Structure 1
Amino acid sequence: MTAPSDVPGTAEEAGAEAQPRRADAASRSLRQIAWQRFRQDKVALTGGIVVVLLIVIAILAPLLVKFVGYPPNQFNQAPIDPLTGGVLNDPNDPTSGIDPWGGMSLDHLLGLEPVNGRDLFSRIVYGAQISLLVAFGATVLCVFIGTVLGSLAGYFGGWVDTVISRAMDIFLAFPLLLFAIALAGVIPDGAFGLTGNGLRVALLIFIIGFFNWPYIGRIVRGQTLSFKEREFVEAARSLGASNRYILFREILPNLITPILIYSTLLIPTNILFEAALSFLGVGINPPTPTWGGMISDSLQYYTTSPHFVIIPGLAIFITVLAFNLLGDGLRDAFDPRSSD
């Protein structure tokens, strides 16, 4: 007895089913393929969600504090032990002992700051504004300078490449932290039309962005050296395209992906650098809250009020981890060698 000709699973039907899948894959753009890969990476997707949530919290900080917390610089001495500066378990009973969690409650979601009694939730939320503002601003400046100089060095070569590459070496060998401490210490309270913390934010963005551009500049230079030898660039050159056209219309669009990926990995580095400067006392001026400044203030109370050092430390840790996971996920999603 012969087998029926319409038995499921035959080679002909398998090939017929595979053809639409191949056609669908061929019709998808690189962006669509990368988005599909990124969605399949649950860890990177979680990091992206946390990053978006942090940005929303920073933008809506005044609104959140208005409905949930208290003004970040409002003192509250009632629950503070006058002898140790810690937060009492019972504000009405001075003998109730120190609460190691700083009086966390529905009124104060993350507890109170020792000595001054300021609301930690409000200060963490406002601290996110400073950290993300400095990190994003410095990253934009760094990416702009690195992309311009790196692409010029890679495309033109010769003495242009030599000069820019040697400048990269000088900046990479520069003691950035020491320079930042020295510069932040000598700048007066008012300069360049700015005063107070507005000047400090601009100064931090300039220092971090201007002196970190060689890292992305080297990546852009290497990618430009590779792209300028590709067939599409040779074709544009053979048709009489100018150097400006080739750089802006042929090479730079292909640099967007590596620049985007490296930027997401550069932002957490800038967050840590801003926190380090604030920790050392040369960043944002108090009483404006910053995560690094809060950790610096908490060191003398870590035995009686450990929440004061744990909470801002966790804020930095979660933010940096989220950006790193997002950057790793984007790198894997846009890597053409990854499996679809």
Structure 2
Amino acid sequence: MTMAETVALTSIKKEKKKEKTFIVITKRLLKNKLAVAGLIIIALQIAMAIFAPFITFHDPVKQNLNLSELPMFSENHWLGTDNYGRDVWSRIVYGARISLIVGIVAVTLGLIGGVILGMLGGYYKKLDGLIMRIVDLLFSFPGILLAMLIIAILGTSLINVAIAISIWSIPTCARIVRGSVLSIKEKEYIMAMKSLGASDLRIMFKHILPNAFAPIIVFATMRMATAILSTASLSYLGLGAQPPTPEWGAMISQGQAFMWTSPHLTIIPGIAIMLTVFAFNVVGDGLRDAIDPNMDIQ
């Protein structure tokens, strides 16, 4: 059998194994009750974000001081209103859209930067030392303080929050990808591709990266929880969403002055943050358990 035939046969076997592995991982994940509950919560959040105009009946930023601080289950305002008379339900629903968008953008940018640095560091020994020192430098800053520093330089806005969180995500992602690349690049089929004259870019992004997806997916899922919580924290501190943007952290900040008279202004967005972070964390844990390499795939 020629070298080309060996590589082709190996590729076919890999594809079949990937398909079988995906089915097994899905079955394992669905057996995890907490992960299933998390998936349901995430699905509901996404549905809220997409269909926000159809499931709300009030403008989330429109003020009506005659209806300020209405309690929960009031007529036409079932979650009440805030101190400016804005409907809390509408602000929670549109806040889900903001949190998910900022989280997705931040995690995506972090993955792009982390994957590129991790791939280069893991594949090229000459670049590994330099890249890992840059990663170590980023690790030397506490994450939230690094994000605050970046926002202080760039200015307060949700776009800058997403950029700050993405930069914060890069070093962890780079470390994860580098570890996978160091392991995968020594496999026989990678050596075979090199002997056939395949370019480094082709090997890295067509043969190594797809086999490193499992830890990347787990990282991305759990990082979404961190990104959403960080967005809320920065907005609470006044460094993210600015009034009257309906963002959960900003809602908590604005509502804490009315904690004794209208506690729902703080409790409801707090519950929204808690449920969303919980959902992404348990799904991430479930994925990690489902793709545990120590578990035999039948």
One fold, TM greater than 0.5? yes
Q: Could you tell me which amino acid in structure 2 is paired with residue 78 of structure 1?
A: N
Q: Distance in 1 between the 2:135 and 2:85 partners? A: 47
Aligned partner of 1:167 in structure 2 is 134
Q: Distance in 2 between the 1:47 and 1:239 partners? A: 45
Aligned pairs, number:
282
Deviations 1:266-294 (A, max 9, x none): 00101111111100111112101110001
Q: Aligned pair in 2 of structure 1 residues 170, 304: CA closer, same or farther (>3 Å)?
A: same
Range with greater deviation from structure 2 (242-251 or 217-226): 242-251
Is 1:270 equivalent to 2:239 in the alignment?
A: no
Q: How does 1:242-253 map to 2 (within 5 A)?
A: 242-253=199-210
TM-score by length of 2: 0.88
Q: Distance in 1 between the 2:87 and 2:61 partners? A: 8
- Choose the corresponding residue for 1:335, options 292, 295, 298: 292
Give the secondary structure class of the aligned counterpart of 1:240. coil
C-alpha RMSD of the superposition? 2.2
Aligned partner of 2:34 in structure 1 is 43
Identical aligned pairs, as a percentage?
41
Q: Aligned pair in 2 of structure 1 residues 71, 149: CA closer, same or farther (>3 Å)?
A: same
Q: How does 1:1-340 map to 2 (within 5 A)?
A: 29-65=20-56, 69-80=57-68, 86-87=69-70, 102-105=71-74, 107-113=76-82, 115-157=83-125, 159-185=126-152, 187=154, 200-338=157-295
Q: Could you tell me which amino acid in structure 1 is paired with residue 128 of structure 2?
A: D
CA-CA distance at 1:106 after TM superposition: 5.3
Unaligned runs of 5+ in 2: 1-15
Unaligned runs of 5+ in 1: 1-24, 81-85, 88-101, 189-198
Give the secondary structure class of the aligned counterpart of 1:78. helix
TM-score by length of 1: 0.77
Q: Aligned pair in 2 of structure 1 residues 26, 231: CA closer, same or farther (>3 Å)?
A: closer
Range with greater deviation from structure 2 (294-303 or 229-238): 229-238
Q: Aligned pair in 2 of structure 1 residues 255, 186: CA closer, same or farther (>3 Å)?
A: closer
Q: Distance in 2 between the 1:26 and 1:127 partners? A: 41
Flag the structure with higher helix content: 2
Q: Aligned pair in 2 of structure 1 residues 246, 297: CA closer, same or farther (>3 Å)?
A: same
Q: Distance in 2 between the 1:310 and 1:258 partners? A: 35
Give the secondary structure class of the aligned counterpart of 2:157. helix
Structure 1 or 2, whichever has the larger Rg, is: 1
